[in-house]
């Protein structure tokens, strides 16, 4: 269950958590065309810090542009509203969800003239795939569901309705005793998790799926930059599920999942069946960064 906080920002005003409601005929509720972001705020020695705020807000606007939704606020206003949500709710750390949706008005597939609304909520949220998952790794299942073709759902946009595909995949994986799903693309290559990007390590080389059938992950970008700074070779290249099976290491990245090692895929142990050295190094760098311990990456933090 979500841990309630006090207030949610809705169209420029703070409303009480329990009063943050919309009409049952809200267009996005019926047809799924809305865009959102997931952002984390971390506790640091200097107070709460939002990780890569500007990049997340930019992706929110990119998603809206792709979907021809015009956000009725400037990016700077949304950035400030996100900061204010953390302040008002007195959060040391937590998860932040900006959401842009098409409101009540015209029904049918073409919402001509419907209002565009923005809501921003924040609440305490622990480890998405569990504390044990971060330290010991998780087991995953290659899903029977595949990621949509890039001209079916445009993958650069983080759209609410796209996650029906993810929910079905995750439900299937969990029902079969796994902790997460892995989806392939329409040509059978590894795409991404239900809500995560994936990396594999083989012969000291890190490989991650190129930006074809996947969301342009901000945590993915963070890890790629860190790996290069550490002189760890990293490439964007397609790979198959059997290459994943014989990888020495594998891990997921995402704002919610952070850096989660993968210990097993389809009942096949990855490497030694525990987090590998490269995974642990990058995971450590990531957590030191978001907690404000590395000045090198201090420009990624917005202190509240």
Write down the pLDDT at residue 238. Answer: 97
Write down the pLDDT at residue 297. Answer: 97
| Residues catalogued as catalytic | 158
What ranges make up the beta strands (E) of 219-287?
A: 234-236, 249-254, 258-265, 268-269
Please, which residues bridge with residue 118 across strands?
100
Write down the pLDDT at residue 156. Answer: 93
Write down the pLDDT at residue 280. Answer: 97
Write down the pLDDT at residue 1. Answer: 79
Please give the structure tokens belonging to residue 212: 């074809």
Write down the pLDDT at residue 242. Answer: 97
Determine the Cα–Cα distance for residues 116 and 99; give it in Å rounded to an integer: 10
Write down the pLDDT at residue 287. Answer: 97
CA-to-CA dists, residue 107 to 29, 101, 117, angstroms:
11, 14, 16
Determine the Cα–Cα distance for residues 235 and 232; give it in Å rounded to an integer: 10
Global pTM value: 0.96
Write down the pLDDT at residue 92. Answer: 96
Write down the pLDDT at residue 131. Answer: 84
Give the list of residues 6+ apart from residue 173 with CB closer than 8 angstroms, or none: 140, 141, 143, 179, 180, 181, 194
Write down the pLDDT at residue 127. Answer: 79
Give SS3 for 213. coil
Determine the Cα–Cα distance for residues 125 and 55; give it in Å rounded to an integer: 21
Q: With beta carbons less than 8 A apart as the criterion, state whether 246 and 235 touch.
A: no
Determine the Cα–Cα distance for residues 7 and 169; give it in Å rounded to an integer: 33
Q: With beta carbons less than 8 A apart as the criterion, state whether 42 and 51 touch.
A: yes
Which long-range CB contacts under 8 A does 126-132 form with residues at least 24 apart? 127/258, 128/195, 128/254, 128/256, 128/257, 128/258, 128/260, 129/179, 129/180, 129/252, 129/257, 129/260, 130/179
Write down the pLDDT at residue 130. Answer: 78
Determine the Cα–Cα distance for residues 50 and 172; give it in Å rounded to an integer: 33
Give the list of residues 6+ apart from residue 13 with CB closer than 8 angstroms, or none: none
Q: pLDDT digit of tens for each residue in the chain (304 aa)?
A: 789 999 999 999 999 999 999 999 999 999 999 999 999 999 999 999 999 999 999 999 999 999 999 999 999 999 999 999 999 999 999 999 999 999 999 999 999 999 999 999 999 998 777 788 999 999 999 999 999 998 998 999 999 999 999 999 999 999 999 999 999 999 999 999 999 999 999 999 999 999 989 999 999 999 999 999 999 999 999 999 999 999 999 999 999 999 999 999 999 999 999 999 999 999 999 999 999 999 999 999 999 9
Write down the pLDDT at residue 53. Answer: 98
């Amino acid at each position: 269950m979500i841990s309630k906080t006090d207030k949610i920002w809705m169209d420029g005003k703070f409303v009480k958590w329990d009063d943050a409601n919309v009409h049952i005929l809200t267009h996005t509720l019926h047809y799924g065309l809305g865009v959102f972001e997931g952002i984390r705020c971390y506790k640091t020695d200097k107070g709460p810090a939002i990780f890569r705020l500007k990049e997340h807000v930019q992706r929110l606007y990119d998603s809206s542009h792709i979907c021809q939704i015009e956000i009725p606020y400037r990016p700077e206003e949304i950035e400030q509203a996100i900061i204010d949500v953390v302040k008002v709710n007195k959060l040391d750390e937590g998860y932040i969800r900006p959401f842009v949706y098409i409101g009540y008005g015209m029904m049918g597939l073409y919402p001509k003239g419907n209002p565009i609304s923005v809501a921003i909520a924040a609440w305490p949220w622990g480890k998405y795939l569990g504390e044990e998952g971060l330290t010991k790794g998780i087991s995953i299942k290659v899903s029977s569901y595949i990621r949509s073709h890039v001209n079916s759902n445009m993958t650069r946009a983080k759209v609410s309705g796209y996650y029906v595909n993810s929910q079905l995949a995750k439900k299937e994986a969990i029902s079969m005793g796994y902790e997460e799903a892995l989806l392939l693309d329409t040509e059978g290559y590894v795409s991404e998790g239900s809500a995560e990007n994936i990396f594999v390590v083989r012969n000291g080389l890190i490989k991650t799926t190129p930006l074809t059938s996947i969301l342009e992950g901000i945590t993915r970008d963070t890890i790629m930059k860190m790996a290069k700074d550490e002189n760890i070779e990293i490439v964007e290249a397609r790979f198959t599920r059997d290459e994943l099976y014989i990888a020495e290491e594998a891990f997921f990245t995402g704002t919610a999942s952070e850096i989660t090692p993968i210990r097993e895929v389809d009942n096949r142990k990855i490497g030694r069946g525990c987090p590998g050295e490269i995974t642990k190094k990058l995971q450590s760098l990531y957590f030191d960064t978001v907690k404000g311990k590395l000045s090198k990456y201090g420009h990624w933090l917005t202190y509240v």
